[in-house]
Structures are given as C-alpha cells and as structure tokens.
Amino acid sequence: MTPRIYVASLSDYNAGRLHGAWIDADSDVDVMAEQVADMLAKSRHQPAEDYAIHDYEGFGPIRLSEFTPLSEVAAIMESVDAIMDRVHDEETALAVMGALDGAGYAPSTWADLLDEGVDVYGPFDGLYPERDLAFEHEEQGFSLPTDVDYFDYASYGRDLQADGSIDTDDLPPSVVSDEEVGLYVIEERYGHGPIPRDLYEQHFDYDAWGRDLARDFVEVKGRGMSRYYVRVP
C-alpha cells in the first residue's frame, strides 16, 4: 500500500464542513504542497489557508500528528525507502521501523541511522528465538566468546552418564544434578585451567549466549510467532 495522507481544510472544518484530499506521501514535497494548495483553492470557505492531516495510511508503526509538516512527511518517506532498500521485504522493514520508533528515534532520522549501522536478525519462528539469534550471529562470522563461561555443564554431565564415561556411584553424595556432575568432572580434569576448545564448542550454551546478545537488541514481534532482533546505534 502506498503511504498517503488525508489533508483537510481547517476553514471548512471550523465551519462544520468536511473538505480535503488524499495525497500520496511518496511524492516530492513540492508536489504535495501543490496538491494541498489545489485542495484549499477549491474550498467554499475562503480565505482557506490552513490545513491539517486528519488521516493517514500505509505508515506502519509511524505516527503522524495533525500538524506534521510536509517536509517531515517527505523525510519520513525517505527513511522508509532507505529501510526498504536495505531489508527488501515489508515485514522486516516494519520490524526495523518498530524498533527505531520504540527506541525513541524520530522517523526523519532513520535514513541517517541506517548509514551508521542498524543490525537486523530474523525472522525467528521457533520457540527459542534467543538461541536462534546466537546461531545466526555465529553464522555471520562471529566467534564463540571465550571471555564468558558459556560451557553447558548440564549437557556435558548428561553425555558423561549416557556414554558410561563416569559412574555416578563414584561421585561425592553432594553431586546430584547433571550440571553438578559436569562441573565436578571439569574441575577434576582441568582444575581452573581452560576447557579444551573442541569440548567447549561441543557443549557451548547457545541459549545463555543468545540471552546475553538479546540485551543489546530490540525484540520486535513479526507475523504469527516470528521475532526479529534489531540493534540500533
């Protein structure tokens, strides 16, 4: 849907009469101004010099006021076009716009923000979108972090018991849960030293990493259960 605005003559409105016109918002600001002037010239209540935006459509999460200047509308459309050029589909574009709007950025600034760098991840349709965020982050070339302990001790503990690598009867009575088993064996084998890289990657906790990553993003709901994560400057 082409975004458009309904501009109404205030002299007519104040006289109890509705007079206005729908204008395509993706027009040049001078073209929109000419269409407003043409609408006012046809008013029955002259002099008709003032107008207001009484309705609009096709702007997604963007909100216009009655007195949003045409120059602002044109700047908003420039930003919308820039977002569409970047993400190529309407659903993702709406997600980006919703994130920028929710972060408090004026729509007219969005085009400049895109130049500064806006990261968009998604859509994620599964039950664990934060885990999916971590997977996609890795697929885009980011290395698994080693400065934070993201080793999944519970997963490691389960594997040790499942393949018979350890007999839980030989463990201290205080070691009960899968996580406690994994932590105990790691400390016994490696002390406070680093966990071998291959083992670390095999039992890397993507859920925990995804939760930490998500703190730097704005989560935006898409269609159905889909989620997007948008990071703004």
Does residue 128 lie in a domain region? no
Q: Which helix (H) or strand (E) holds 37?
A: helix 29-41
| Strand-by-strand arrangement of the 4-9 sheet | 20-24, 4-9, 51-57
Taking only the tens place, the pLDDT of each residue in 18-31 is 999 999 998 899 99
DSSP designation for 128: -
Taking only the tens place, the pLDDT of each residue in 31-62 is 999 999 999 999 989 998 899 999 999 887 78
User: pTM value?
Assistant: 0.65
First to last CA, the chain: 29
How far from 81 is each of 43, 74, 176, 213, 232, CA to CA, in Å? 33, 11, 57, 28, 18
Whether 110 contacts 84, CB under 8 Å: no
Domain that holds residue 196: 151-203
User: The tokens of 50 are what?
Assistant: 């003032």
Angle between helical axes of 70-87 and 29-41 (0-180°, round to 10): 140
CATH of the domain at 23: 3.10.20.480
Does residue 132 lie in a domain region? no
Average pLDDT over residues 218-232: 78
| Number of compact structural domains in the chain | 2
Given 91, 109, 138, which residue is the final one in a domain? 91
